[in-house]
A and B are shown apart, each in its own frame.
Chain A
Amino acid sequence: MLNMTDIMETITMIQDENLDIRTITMGISLLDCCDSDIQRSCEKVYDKIYRYAKDLVKTGKDIEKKYDIPIVNKRISVTPIAMLVGASGGDPVQYAKTLDRVAKDVGVNFIGGFSALVHKGFSPGDKALIESIPRALAETDFVCSSVNVGTTKAGINMDAVKLMGRIVKEAAEATKENQCIGAAKLVVFCNAPEDNPFMAGAFHGPGEPDCVLNVGVSGPGVVRAALAKMPDHADLTEVADMIKKTAFKITRMGQLVGTEASKQLGVPFGIIDLSLAPTPAIGDSVAYILEEIGLEQCGTHGTTAALAMLNDAVKKGGVMASSNVGGLSGAFIPVTEDAGMIAAARDGSLSIEKLEAMTAVCSVGLDMIVIPGDTPPETISAIIADEAAIGMVNSKTTAVRVIPAVGLNEGEELDFGGLLGNGPVMKLHNKSSAKMINRGGRIPAPLQSLKN
Protein backbone atom coordinates (compact mmCIF):
# COMPACT_ATOMS: atom_id res chain seq x y z
CA MET A 1 0.00 0.00 0.00
CA LEU A 2 1.13 3.53 -0.67
CA ASN A 3 2.11 5.36 2.41
CA MET A 4 1.68 9.00 3.28
CA THR A 5 5.31 9.61 4.25
CA ASP A 6 6.61 8.21 0.95
CA ILE A 7 4.15 10.29 -1.04
CA MET A 8 5.05 13.47 0.79
CA GLU A 9 8.75 12.69 0.40
CA THR A 10 8.45 12.38 -3.37
CA ILE A 11 6.49 15.59 -3.64
CA THR A 12 8.94 17.53 -1.47
CA MET A 13 11.82 16.21 -3.58
CA ILE A 14 10.22 17.50 -6.77
CA GLN A 15 8.74 20.71 -5.47
CA ASP A 16 11.33 22.02 -3.00
CA GLU A 17 14.53 20.15 -3.75
CA ASN A 18 14.71 20.50 -7.55
CA LEU A 19 14.50 16.80 -8.34
CA ASP A 20 14.14 16.38 -12.06
CA ILE A 21 14.68 14.13 -15.02
CA ARG A 22 17.46 16.21 -16.49
CA THR A 23 17.28 14.84 -19.96
CA ILE A 24 15.88 12.20 -22.25
CA THR A 25 18.28 11.85 -25.13
CA MET A 26 17.54 9.89 -28.25
CA GLY A 27 20.67 8.42 -29.80
CA ILE A 28 20.40 7.91 -33.56
CA SER A 29 22.92 6.16 -35.77
CA LEU A 30 23.66 7.98 -39.02
CA LEU A 31 26.01 5.37 -40.45
CA ASP A 32 23.45 4.40 -43.10
CA CYS A 33 23.16 8.05 -44.21
CA CYS A 34 26.69 8.12 -45.67
CA ASP A 35 26.76 9.19 -49.29
CA SER A 36 29.55 10.32 -51.56
CA ASP A 37 27.49 13.42 -52.29
CA ILE A 38 27.32 15.71 -49.26
CA GLN A 39 24.02 17.23 -50.35
CA ARG A 40 22.41 13.83 -50.56
CA SER A 41 24.02 12.80 -47.29
CA CYS A 42 22.57 15.84 -45.50
CA GLU A 43 19.10 15.08 -46.82
CA LYS A 44 19.31 11.51 -45.53
CA VAL A 45 20.53 12.78 -42.15
CA TYR A 46 17.61 15.19 -41.89
CA ASP A 47 15.05 12.54 -42.89
CA LYS A 48 16.33 9.86 -40.55
CA ILE A 49 16.55 12.11 -37.50
CA TYR A 50 13.13 13.61 -38.21
CA ARG A 51 11.57 10.18 -38.64
CA TYR A 52 12.82 8.88 -35.30
CA ALA A 53 12.59 12.04 -33.20
CA LYS A 54 9.40 13.71 -34.38
CA ASP A 55 7.42 12.50 -31.34
CA LEU A 56 10.24 12.76 -28.81
CA VAL A 57 9.26 16.13 -27.36
CA LYS A 58 5.56 15.28 -27.26
CA THR A 59 6.24 11.97 -25.50
CA GLY A 60 8.44 13.77 -22.99
CA LYS A 61 5.67 16.25 -22.24
CA ASP A 62 3.07 13.47 -21.87
CA ILE A 63 5.23 11.70 -19.31
CA GLU A 64 5.78 14.97 -17.46
CA LYS A 65 2.02 15.30 -17.13
CA LYS A 66 1.41 11.69 -16.14
CA TYR A 67 3.83 11.78 -13.22
CA ASP A 68 3.93 15.52 -12.60
CA ILE A 69 7.72 15.63 -12.73
CA PRO A 70 9.78 18.01 -14.83
CA ILE A 71 11.77 16.60 -17.74
CA VAL A 72 14.07 19.55 -18.30
CA ASN A 73 15.68 18.68 -21.62
CA LYS A 74 14.78 16.64 -24.65
CA ARG A 75 17.81 16.05 -26.83
CA ILE A 76 19.31 14.08 -29.66
CA SER A 77 22.77 12.58 -30.07
CA VAL A 78 24.06 11.27 -33.38
CA THR A 79 26.94 9.29 -34.84
CA PRO A 80 30.16 11.34 -34.84
CA ILE A 81 29.75 13.48 -37.95
CA ALA A 82 33.45 13.09 -38.83
CA MET A 83 32.60 9.57 -40.03
CA LEU A 84 30.11 10.99 -42.53
CA VAL A 85 32.51 13.72 -43.60
CA GLY A 86 35.05 10.98 -44.30
CA ALA A 87 32.67 9.44 -46.83
CA SER A 88 31.16 12.55 -48.37
CA GLY A 89 33.93 15.15 -48.20
CA GLY A 90 32.77 18.74 -48.61
CA ASP A 91 32.25 21.42 -45.98
CA PRO A 92 31.33 19.85 -42.58
CA VAL A 93 29.44 23.02 -41.61
CA GLN A 94 26.70 21.85 -43.98
CA TYR A 95 26.12 18.91 -41.64
CA ALA A 96 26.06 21.23 -38.63
CA LYS A 97 23.41 23.36 -40.30
CA THR A 98 21.37 20.26 -41.17
CA LEU A 99 21.52 19.10 -37.54
CA ASP A 100 20.53 22.56 -36.32
CA ARG A 101 17.58 22.68 -38.69
CA VAL A 102 16.24 19.25 -37.73
CA ALA A 103 16.74 20.01 -34.01
CA LYS A 104 14.59 23.12 -34.39
CA ASP A 105 11.97 21.29 -36.43
CA VAL A 106 11.47 18.49 -33.89
CA GLY A 107 11.71 20.94 -30.98
CA VAL A 108 14.66 19.55 -28.99
CA ASN A 109 16.99 21.95 -27.21
CA PHE A 110 20.38 20.50 -28.16
CA ILE A 111 21.76 18.05 -30.69
CA GLY A 112 25.16 16.49 -29.98
CA GLY A 113 27.48 14.60 -32.25
CA PHE A 114 29.38 17.16 -34.30
CA SER A 115 32.24 15.02 -33.09
CA ALA A 116 35.43 13.22 -34.00
CA LEU A 117 37.24 10.34 -32.32
CA VAL A 118 40.94 10.88 -32.89
CA HIS A 119 42.61 9.20 -29.91
CA LYS A 120 44.96 7.19 -32.09
CA GLY A 121 45.18 9.40 -35.15
CA PHE A 122 43.32 11.49 -37.70
CA SER A 123 41.48 10.46 -40.82
CA PRO A 124 40.88 13.19 -43.44
CA GLY A 125 37.25 13.49 -42.28
CA ASP A 126 38.36 14.07 -38.67
CA LYS A 127 40.77 16.84 -39.66
CA ALA A 128 38.18 18.63 -41.78
CA LEU A 129 35.55 18.37 -39.06
CA ILE A 130 37.79 19.67 -36.28
CA GLU A 131 38.93 22.62 -38.37
CA SER A 132 35.30 23.54 -39.03
CA ILE A 133 34.16 23.39 -35.37
CA PRO A 134 34.51 27.13 -34.55
CA ARG A 135 32.50 28.10 -37.63
CA ALA A 136 29.92 25.32 -37.09
CA LEU A 137 29.29 26.40 -33.50
CA ALA A 138 29.11 30.07 -34.41
CA GLU A 139 26.68 29.55 -37.27
CA THR A 140 24.26 27.21 -35.47
CA ASP A 141 22.29 27.51 -32.23
CA PHE A 142 21.72 23.98 -30.97
CA VAL A 143 24.65 21.94 -32.23
CA CYS A 144 27.18 20.64 -29.69
CA SER A 145 30.60 19.32 -30.48
CA SER A 146 33.08 16.97 -28.86
CA VAL A 147 36.46 15.50 -29.71
CA ASN A 148 38.01 12.43 -28.09
CA VAL A 149 41.78 12.90 -27.94
CA GLY A 150 42.86 9.97 -25.78
CA THR A 151 41.96 6.59 -24.30
CA THR A 152 43.58 4.25 -21.81
CA LYS A 153 44.11 1.74 -24.62
CA ALA A 154 45.54 4.14 -27.21
CA GLY A 155 47.30 6.84 -25.21
CA ILE A 156 46.92 10.54 -25.90
CA ASN A 157 47.10 12.01 -29.39
CA MET A 158 49.15 15.10 -28.62
CA ASP A 159 48.79 16.46 -32.15
CA ALA A 160 45.06 16.55 -31.51
CA VAL A 161 45.62 18.13 -28.10
CA LYS A 162 47.71 20.83 -29.71
CA LEU A 163 45.09 21.41 -32.37
CA MET A 164 42.24 21.58 -29.85
CA GLY A 165 43.97 24.36 -27.88
CA ARG A 166 43.66 26.56 -30.94
CA ILE A 167 40.15 25.33 -31.83
CA VAL A 168 38.78 26.09 -28.34
CA LYS A 169 40.18 29.59 -28.61
CA GLU A 170 38.80 30.13 -32.09
CA ALA A 171 35.40 28.81 -31.01
CA ALA A 172 35.33 31.45 -28.26
CA GLU A 173 36.52 34.21 -30.57
CA ALA A 174 33.98 33.35 -33.27
CA THR A 175 31.20 33.88 -30.71
CA LYS A 176 32.69 36.78 -28.74
CA GLU A 177 29.57 38.89 -29.38
CA ASN A 178 27.56 36.15 -27.68
CA GLN A 179 29.41 35.47 -24.37
CA CYS A 180 31.90 33.18 -26.17
CA ILE A 181 29.16 30.53 -26.14
CA GLY A 182 30.94 28.52 -28.86
CA ALA A 183 33.50 27.25 -26.35
CA ALA A 184 30.71 26.24 -23.96
CA LYS A 185 29.31 23.90 -26.62
CA LEU A 186 32.64 22.14 -27.19
CA VAL A 187 34.15 19.37 -25.03
CA VAL A 188 37.51 17.64 -25.35
CA PHE A 189 37.40 14.09 -23.96
CA CYS A 190 39.64 11.29 -22.88
CA ASN A 191 37.86 7.89 -22.72
CA ALA A 192 34.61 9.41 -23.99
CA PRO A 193 31.57 7.20 -23.21
CA GLU A 194 29.47 6.26 -26.24
CA ASP A 195 26.13 6.45 -24.45
CA ASN A 196 26.31 9.72 -22.56
CA PRO A 197 23.03 11.68 -22.57
CA PHE A 198 24.57 14.91 -21.22
CA MET A 199 25.62 17.77 -23.48
CA ALA A 200 27.88 19.08 -24.77
CA GLY A 201 29.65 15.72 -24.83
CA ALA A 202 26.80 13.52 -26.05
CA PHE A 203 27.29 11.51 -29.21
CA HIS A 204 25.96 8.18 -30.44
CA GLY A 205 28.88 5.78 -30.45
CA PRO A 206 29.51 3.33 -33.30
CA GLY A 207 28.87 0.40 -30.93
CA GLU A 208 25.33 1.51 -30.17
CA PRO A 209 22.08 0.25 -31.78
CA ASP A 210 20.34 2.10 -34.61
CA CYS A 211 18.20 4.15 -32.24
CA VAL A 212 18.15 4.15 -28.46
CA LEU A 213 16.77 6.21 -25.62
CA ASN A 214 19.06 7.29 -22.78
CA VAL A 215 17.93 9.08 -19.65
CA GLY A 216 19.86 11.39 -17.36
CA VAL A 217 18.49 11.89 -13.83
CA SER A 218 19.63 14.52 -11.43
CA GLY A 219 18.90 15.76 -7.96
CA PRO A 220 21.77 17.34 -6.06
CA GLY A 221 19.20 19.28 -4.02
CA VAL A 222 17.59 16.05 -2.82
CA VAL A 223 20.91 14.62 -1.65
CA ARG A 224 21.79 17.87 0.11
CA ALA A 225 18.41 17.99 1.84
CA ALA A 226 18.78 14.37 2.99
CA LEU A 227 22.22 15.14 4.44
CA ALA A 228 20.96 18.34 6.07
CA LYS A 229 18.54 16.27 8.14
CA MET A 230 21.38 14.14 9.55
CA PRO A 231 22.92 15.07 12.91
CA ASP A 232 26.45 16.57 12.93
CA HIS A 233 27.82 13.58 14.81
CA ALA A 234 26.71 11.04 12.17
CA ASP A 235 29.88 9.39 10.90
CA LEU A 236 30.93 9.26 7.25
CA THR A 237 29.81 5.65 6.80
CA GLU A 238 26.30 6.77 7.72
CA VAL A 239 26.59 9.78 5.42
CA ALA A 240 27.67 7.56 2.51
CA ASP A 241 24.77 5.24 3.26
CA MET A 242 22.29 8.11 3.21
CA ILE A 243 23.63 9.30 -0.18
CA LYS A 244 23.31 5.75 -1.49
CA LYS A 245 19.69 5.43 -0.41
CA THR A 246 18.79 8.80 -1.88
CA ALA A 247 20.54 8.02 -5.18
CA PHE A 248 18.54 4.80 -5.30
CA LYS A 249 15.23 6.63 -5.13
CA ILE A 250 16.26 9.24 -7.68
CA THR A 251 17.41 6.58 -10.11
CA ARG A 252 14.21 4.55 -9.75
CA MET A 253 12.32 7.54 -11.03
CA GLY A 254 14.64 7.73 -14.04
CA GLN A 255 14.15 4.04 -14.73
CA LEU A 256 10.38 4.52 -14.72
CA VAL A 257 10.53 7.47 -17.10
CA GLY A 258 13.03 5.72 -19.36
CA THR A 259 10.99 2.54 -19.74
CA GLU A 260 7.78 4.51 -20.21
CA ALA A 261 9.30 6.75 -22.89
CA SER A 262 10.91 3.90 -24.77
CA LYS A 263 7.61 2.00 -24.75
CA GLN A 264 5.69 4.98 -26.10
CA LEU A 265 8.25 5.76 -28.80
CA GLY A 266 8.88 2.13 -29.76
CA VAL A 267 12.60 2.61 -29.31
CA PRO A 268 14.80 0.39 -27.10
CA PHE A 269 15.74 1.79 -23.72
CA GLY A 270 19.49 2.30 -23.41
CA ILE A 271 20.90 3.44 -20.11
CA ILE A 272 20.25 5.65 -17.15
CA ASP A 273 22.98 8.10 -16.37
CA LEU A 274 22.55 8.64 -12.67
CA SER A 275 24.55 11.79 -12.35
CA LEU A 276 24.27 14.61 -9.88
CA ALA A 277 24.33 17.46 -12.35
CA PRO A 278 23.88 20.88 -10.77
CA THR A 279 21.98 23.88 -12.10
CA PRO A 280 22.53 27.53 -11.20
CA ALA A 281 19.30 27.39 -9.12
CA ILE A 282 20.01 27.91 -5.44
CA GLY A 283 19.88 24.55 -3.66
CA ASP A 284 20.66 22.51 -6.77
CA SER A 285 24.38 22.45 -6.23
CA VAL A 286 27.00 19.71 -5.84
CA ALA A 287 29.26 22.16 -3.98
CA TYR A 288 26.57 22.59 -1.32
CA ILE A 289 26.45 18.81 -0.82
CA LEU A 290 30.19 18.85 -0.14
CA GLU A 291 29.66 21.71 2.28
CA GLU A 292 26.83 19.79 3.93
CA ILE A 293 29.22 16.87 4.45
CA GLY A 294 31.30 19.24 6.54
CA LEU A 295 33.48 21.64 4.55
CA GLU A 296 33.29 25.36 5.31
CA GLN A 297 33.55 26.06 1.60
CA CYS A 298 33.99 23.87 -1.44
CA GLY A 299 37.62 23.86 -2.57
CA THR A 300 39.19 23.70 0.85
CA HIS A 301 41.26 20.74 2.10
CA GLY A 302 39.12 17.62 2.27
CA THR A 303 37.09 18.49 -0.82
CA THR A 304 38.59 15.71 -2.94
CA ALA A 305 37.89 13.08 -0.26
CA ALA A 306 34.30 14.25 0.21
CA LEU A 307 33.73 14.24 -3.55
CA ALA A 308 35.23 10.76 -3.93
CA MET A 309 32.81 9.44 -1.32
CA LEU A 310 29.85 11.23 -2.87
CA ASN A 311 30.64 10.00 -6.37
CA ASP A 312 31.03 6.40 -5.26
CA ALA A 313 27.88 6.39 -3.12
CA VAL A 314 25.83 7.81 -6.00
CA LYS A 315 26.99 4.98 -8.25
CA LYS A 316 26.32 2.31 -5.64
CA GLY A 317 22.78 3.52 -5.01
CA GLY A 318 22.03 3.91 -8.69
CA VAL A 319 23.37 0.59 -9.89
CA MET A 320 20.92 -1.28 -7.69
CA ALA A 321 18.00 0.85 -8.83
CA SER A 322 18.28 0.42 -12.58
CA SER A 323 18.68 -2.47 -14.95
CA ASN A 324 21.11 -0.58 -17.17
CA VAL A 325 23.40 2.09 -15.84
CA GLY A 326 25.88 3.77 -18.14
CA GLY A 327 27.09 7.08 -19.48
CA LEU A 328 29.15 9.07 -17.03
CA SER A 329 27.22 8.37 -13.81
CA GLY A 330 28.56 10.30 -10.85
CA ALA A 331 28.89 13.86 -9.64
CA PHE A 332 29.40 16.67 -12.13
CA ILE A 333 31.39 19.72 -11.12
CA PRO A 334 30.81 22.38 -13.77
CA VAL A 335 31.82 25.69 -12.24
CA THR A 336 29.48 28.18 -13.92
CA GLU A 337 26.42 25.92 -13.53
CA ASP A 338 26.72 25.42 -9.79
CA ALA A 339 25.82 28.20 -7.33
CA GLY A 340 28.19 26.81 -4.67
CA MET A 341 31.09 26.46 -7.10
CA ILE A 342 30.56 29.98 -8.42
CA ALA A 343 30.66 31.33 -4.87
CA ALA A 344 33.79 29.33 -4.04
CA ALA A 345 35.54 30.50 -7.21
CA ARG A 346 34.64 34.12 -6.47
CA ASP A 347 35.99 33.85 -2.93
CA GLY A 348 39.20 32.27 -4.17
CA SER A 349 38.55 29.04 -2.20
CA LEU A 350 38.41 27.09 -5.42
CA SER A 351 41.42 27.11 -7.72
CA ILE A 352 41.97 25.36 -11.03
CA GLU A 353 44.51 23.04 -9.35
CA LYS A 354 41.94 21.89 -6.82
CA LEU A 355 39.39 21.37 -9.57
CA GLU A 356 41.89 19.25 -11.44
CA ALA A 357 42.48 17.11 -8.35
CA MET A 358 38.73 16.73 -7.90
CA THR A 359 38.35 15.48 -11.46
CA ALA A 360 40.48 12.45 -10.57
CA VAL A 361 37.66 11.15 -8.38
CA CYS A 362 34.45 12.28 -10.08
CA SER A 363 32.64 12.32 -13.42
CA VAL A 364 33.81 14.33 -16.39
CA GLY A 365 36.48 16.88 -15.60
CA LEU A 366 37.32 20.56 -15.87
CA ASP A 367 33.86 21.65 -16.88
CA MET A 368 32.51 25.11 -17.68
CA ILE A 369 35.52 27.01 -16.40
CA VAL A 370 35.94 30.60 -17.56
CA ILE A 371 39.59 31.46 -18.26
CA PRO A 372 41.23 34.75 -19.33
CA GLY A 373 40.61 35.68 -22.96
CA ASP A 374 44.29 36.20 -23.68
CA THR A 375 45.30 32.67 -22.62
CA PRO A 376 47.73 31.28 -25.25
CA PRO A 377 46.40 28.24 -27.19
CA GLU A 378 49.35 26.17 -25.93
CA THR A 379 48.21 26.74 -22.34
CA ILE A 380 44.72 25.49 -23.21
CA SER A 381 46.33 22.47 -24.89
CA ALA A 382 48.39 21.87 -21.76
CA ILE A 383 45.24 21.96 -19.60
CA ILE A 384 43.67 19.40 -21.97
CA ALA A 385 46.81 17.23 -21.81
CA ASP A 386 46.85 17.23 -18.00
CA GLU A 387 43.20 16.30 -17.80
CA ALA A 388 43.48 13.61 -20.50
CA ALA A 389 46.43 12.12 -18.62
CA ILE A 390 44.34 11.77 -15.46
CA GLY A 391 41.65 9.97 -17.47
CA MET A 392 44.11 7.77 -19.34
CA VAL A 393 46.01 6.59 -16.29
CA ASN A 394 42.94 6.06 -14.12
CA SER A 395 40.86 4.33 -16.84
CA LYS A 396 38.08 6.87 -16.43
CA THR A 397 36.40 9.55 -18.51
CA THR A 398 37.79 13.05 -18.22
CA ALA A 399 36.99 16.11 -20.25
CA VAL A 400 37.84 19.76 -20.63
CA ARG A 401 35.31 22.46 -21.36
CA VAL A 402 36.98 25.81 -20.73
CA ILE A 403 35.70 29.12 -22.06
CA PRO A 404 38.32 31.71 -22.94
CA ALA A 405 36.42 34.93 -22.18
CA VAL A 406 37.50 37.20 -25.01
CA GLY A 407 38.20 40.71 -23.71
CA LEU A 408 37.86 39.79 -20.02
CA ASN A 409 40.56 39.47 -17.40
CA GLU A 410 40.91 37.59 -14.13
CA GLY A 411 38.15 38.43 -11.64
CA GLU A 412 35.68 39.71 -14.23
CA GLU A 413 32.55 37.63 -14.94
CA LEU A 414 30.91 36.00 -17.91
CA ASP A 415 27.14 35.40 -17.88
CA PHE A 416 25.49 32.88 -20.22
CA GLY A 417 22.11 32.92 -18.55
CA GLY A 418 19.88 29.82 -18.33
CA LEU A 419 21.27 26.42 -17.46
CA LEU A 420 24.82 27.37 -18.40
CA GLY A 421 24.97 29.96 -15.62
CA ASN A 422 27.73 32.46 -14.99
CA GLY A 423 31.16 32.56 -13.42
CA PRO A 424 34.30 34.53 -12.70
CA VAL A 425 37.39 34.30 -14.90
CA MET A 426 39.74 31.93 -13.07
CA LYS A 427 43.46 32.34 -12.62
CA LEU A 428 45.81 30.18 -14.67
CA HIS A 429 49.58 29.75 -14.47
CA ASN A 430 51.41 32.25 -16.62
CA LYS A 431 54.48 30.11 -17.32
CA SER A 432 54.54 28.63 -20.81
CA SER A 433 53.92 25.00 -21.77
CA ALA A 434 54.52 25.73 -25.46
CA LYS A 435 57.67 23.66 -25.95
CA MET A 436 56.04 20.46 -24.72
CA ILE A 437 52.82 21.04 -26.66
CA ASN A 438 54.65 21.86 -29.89
CA ARG A 439 56.47 18.53 -29.79
CA GLY A 440 53.21 16.80 -30.83
CA GLY A 441 53.22 13.02 -31.34
CA ARG A 442 51.44 10.61 -29.04
CA ILE A 443 51.79 9.89 -25.35
CA PRO A 444 51.98 6.07 -25.35
CA ALA A 445 49.25 4.08 -23.64
CA PRO A 446 50.03 3.29 -20.02
CA LEU A 447 50.82 -0.23 -18.87
CA GLN A 448 47.27 -0.92 -17.69
CA SER A 449 46.15 -0.86 -21.33
CA LEU A 450 47.54 -4.39 -21.71
CA LYS A 451 44.78 -6.12 -19.84
CA ASN A 452 44.00 -8.71 -22.51
Chain B
Amino acid sequence: MKAVVTVIGKDMVGILAKVSTTCANANANVVEVTQSVLQEYFAMVMLIDISKMNCELDTLREDLQKNVEGMTIHVMHEDIFNSMHRI
Protein backbone atom coordinates (compact mmCIF):
# COMPACT_ATOMS: atom_id res chain seq x y z
CA MET B 1 0.00 0.00 0.00
CA LYS B 2 1.31 3.39 -0.98
CA ALA B 3 0.26 6.98 -0.59
CA VAL B 4 1.19 10.14 -2.40
CA VAL B 5 2.35 13.22 -0.52
CA THR B 6 2.37 16.49 -2.43
CA VAL B 7 3.79 19.74 -1.15
CA ILE B 8 3.27 22.98 -3.06
CA GLY B 9 4.15 26.54 -2.08
CA LYS B 10 6.80 29.21 -1.88
CA ASP B 11 10.31 27.74 -1.91
CA MET B 12 12.40 27.82 1.29
CA VAL B 13 15.23 25.93 2.92
CA GLY B 14 14.61 22.52 4.45
CA ILE B 15 11.23 21.50 3.05
CA LEU B 16 12.39 18.09 1.88
CA ALA B 17 14.16 17.46 5.20
CA LYS B 18 11.08 18.34 7.25
CA VAL B 19 8.75 16.23 5.11
CA SER B 20 10.98 13.17 5.12
CA THR B 21 11.61 13.43 8.87
CA THR B 22 7.88 13.56 9.55
CA CYS B 23 7.37 10.53 7.31
CA ALA B 24 10.19 8.67 9.05
CA ASN B 25 8.61 9.38 12.44
CA ALA B 26 5.40 7.82 11.17
CA ASN B 27 7.41 4.80 9.94
CA ALA B 28 6.43 5.55 6.35
CA ASN B 29 9.20 4.59 3.93
CA VAL B 30 9.94 7.06 1.15
CA VAL B 31 9.87 5.18 -2.16
CA GLU B 32 10.32 7.96 -4.67
CA VAL B 33 10.57 11.74 -4.77
CA THR B 34 10.13 14.12 -7.67
CA GLN B 35 10.54 17.81 -7.09
CA SER B 36 10.88 20.92 -9.13
CA VAL B 37 11.10 24.63 -8.51
CA LEU B 38 9.24 26.71 -11.05
CA GLN B 39 10.19 30.39 -10.62
CA GLU B 40 9.86 30.76 -6.85
CA TYR B 41 7.33 27.94 -6.46
CA PHE B 42 8.29 24.62 -4.99
CA ALA B 43 6.37 21.50 -6.04
CA MET B 44 7.16 18.09 -4.65
CA VAL B 45 5.53 14.72 -5.15
CA MET B 46 6.60 11.94 -2.83
CA LEU B 47 5.53 8.31 -2.98
CA ILE B 48 5.57 6.63 0.43
CA ASP B 49 4.98 3.08 1.59
CA ILE B 50 2.25 3.13 4.25
CA SER B 51 1.89 -0.59 4.95
CA LYS B 52 3.94 -0.39 8.16
CA MET B 53 2.87 3.05 9.27
CA ASN B 54 2.40 3.58 13.02
CA CYS B 55 -0.43 6.11 12.67
CA GLU B 56 -3.42 6.98 10.49
CA LEU B 57 -3.00 8.75 7.16
CA ASP B 58 -4.93 11.66 8.62
CA THR B 59 -2.49 12.02 11.53
CA LEU B 60 0.43 12.12 9.12
CA ARG B 61 -1.32 14.88 7.17
CA GLU B 62 -1.84 16.91 10.36
CA ASP B 63 1.79 16.43 11.42
CA LEU B 64 3.04 17.51 8.02
CA GLN B 65 0.89 20.59 8.09
CA LYS B 66 2.23 21.45 11.53
CA ASN B 67 5.89 20.79 10.70
CA VAL B 68 6.00 22.37 7.24
CA GLU B 69 4.27 25.70 7.67
CA GLY B 70 2.80 27.78 4.88
CA MET B 71 2.69 25.03 2.25
CA THR B 72 -0.29 23.31 0.67
CA ILE B 73 -0.02 19.64 1.57
CA HIS B 74 -2.02 16.67 0.35
CA VAL B 75 -1.72 13.08 1.49
CA MET B 76 -3.76 10.74 -0.65
CA HIS B 77 -4.00 6.99 -0.99
CA GLU B 78 -2.53 5.89 -4.35
CA ASP B 79 -5.80 4.18 -5.38
CA ILE B 80 -7.35 7.48 -6.38
CA PHE B 81 -4.67 8.17 -9.01
CA ASN B 82 -4.61 4.62 -10.28
CA SER B 83 -8.36 4.54 -10.73
CA MET B 84 -8.67 7.99 -12.28
CA HIS B 85 -5.88 7.77 -14.80
CA ARG B 86 -5.77 4.13 -15.76
CA ILE B 87 -8.33 2.04 -17.58
A positions within 8 Å CB-CB of B: 2-4, 6-11, 15, 65-69, 249, 252-253, 255-256
**A-B contacts besides A2-B81, A10-B81, A256-B83, 15 pairs, CB < 8 Å:** A2-B82, A6-B85, A7-B4, A8-B6, A8-B45, A10-B80, A10-B84, A11-B74, A65-B57, A65-B58, A66-B77, A67-B79, A68-B75, A68-B76, A253-B84
Chain A residues, Cβ within 8 Å of B4: 2, 7
**A255 CA to B79 CA, complexed, in Å:** 11
Judged by a CB distance under 8 angstroms, whether B23 is at the interface is no
Contact: B61 with A15, CB < 8 Å? no
Interface residues of B in 22-77 (CB under 8 A from A): 34, 43, 45, 47, 56-58, 61, 72, 74-77
B positions within 8 Å CB-CB of A: 4, 6, 8, 34, 43, 45, 47, 56-58, 61, 72, 74-85
Contact: A2 with B74, CB < 8 Å? no
A4-B45, A7-B4 are contacts. A67–B76 as well, Cβ < 8 Å? yes
Contact: B61 with A68, CB < 8 Å? yes
**A68 CA to B43 CA, complexed, in Å:** 18
**A69 CA to B6 CA, complexed, in Å:** 14
Contact: A11 with B6, CB < 8 Å? yes
**A8 CA to B47 CA, complexed, in Å:** 13
**A4 CA to B81 CA, complexed, in Å:** 10
Nearest A residue to B85 via CB reads A6
**A8 CA to B45 CA, complexed, in Å:** 9
Chain B residues, Cβ within 8 Å of A2: 4, 47, 78, 81-82
Chain B residues, Cβ within 8 Å of A3: 85
Interchain nearest-CB distance for A409 vs B (Å): 46
Sort A-B residue pairs by CB-CB distance and give the 6 closest, nearest first.
Answer: A6-B85, A65-B58, A256-B83, A68-B76, A67-B80, A252-B83
**A67 CA to B3 CA, complexed, in Å:** 9
Contact: A15 with B72, CB < 8 Å? yes
What would 5 A/B residue contacts be, using CB atoms closer than 8 Å?
A10-B80, A11-B8, A67-B77, A68-B76, A253-B84
Please indicate which of the listed interface residues A7, A10, A65, A252 has the most CB atoms of chain B within 10 Å of its own CB: A7
**A379 CA to B73 CA, complexed, in Å:** 53
Chain A residues, Cβ within 8 Å of B43: 8
8 Å CB contact of B85 from A65, A67, A249? A249
**A2 CA to B77 CA, complexed, in Å:** 12
Chain A residues, Cβ within 8 Å of B85: 3, 6, 9-10, 249
Nearest B residue to A14 via CB reads B74
**A68 CA to B78 CA, complexed, in Å:** 11
Interchain nearest-CB distance for B64 vs A (Å): 12
Contact: B84 with A6, CB < 8 Å? yes
Chain A residues, Cβ within 8 Å of B61: 65, 68
**A353 CA to B9 CA, complexed, in Å:** 48
Nearest A residue to B43 via CB reads A8
Chain B residues, Cβ within 8 Å of A9: 85
